[in-house]
Amino acid sequence: MNYRKLGKTGFNISELSLGTWQVGGKWGDPFSHDNADKILNKAIDSGINFIDTADVYNDGDSEKAVGRLLRKRTEGVYVATKCGRQLNPHVSEAYQPEALRKFVHDSLKRMQMET
């Protein structure tokens, strides 16, 4: 696996990342922790250390699966999550700093992670 420095952070990020939309499972199918663990473990075992997720992937189950698995692993893995799709109403005026802070807080809570 090849890695690159992320800007001035000093973080060495794998050139490949894992998008975890599929970790949440197929639409309408029950969520499978075994399947999620299999996908995430294979990626990390292959050297991927950057995982992309979102609060809306299977209504947060993807974030929960990522957090649950990473608490069991010792490798340094970086996580990026997207947020804001759960705004109701979904209008641009609702994207305020306090809403963003809540999205971040909720994602960290689902993943049981700290920054």
Report the catalytic residues: 57
> How long a stretch of residues is the chain?
115
- Report the SS3 class of residue 82: strand
Q: Which residues on adjacent β-strands are paired with residue 4? A: 13
Q: CB within 8 A of 92, min separation 6: which ones?
A: none
For residue 10, what are its two tokens? 């000093």
- As a whole number of Å, the end-to-end CA separation of the chain is 25
Cα separation, 25 vs 33, in Å, equals 10
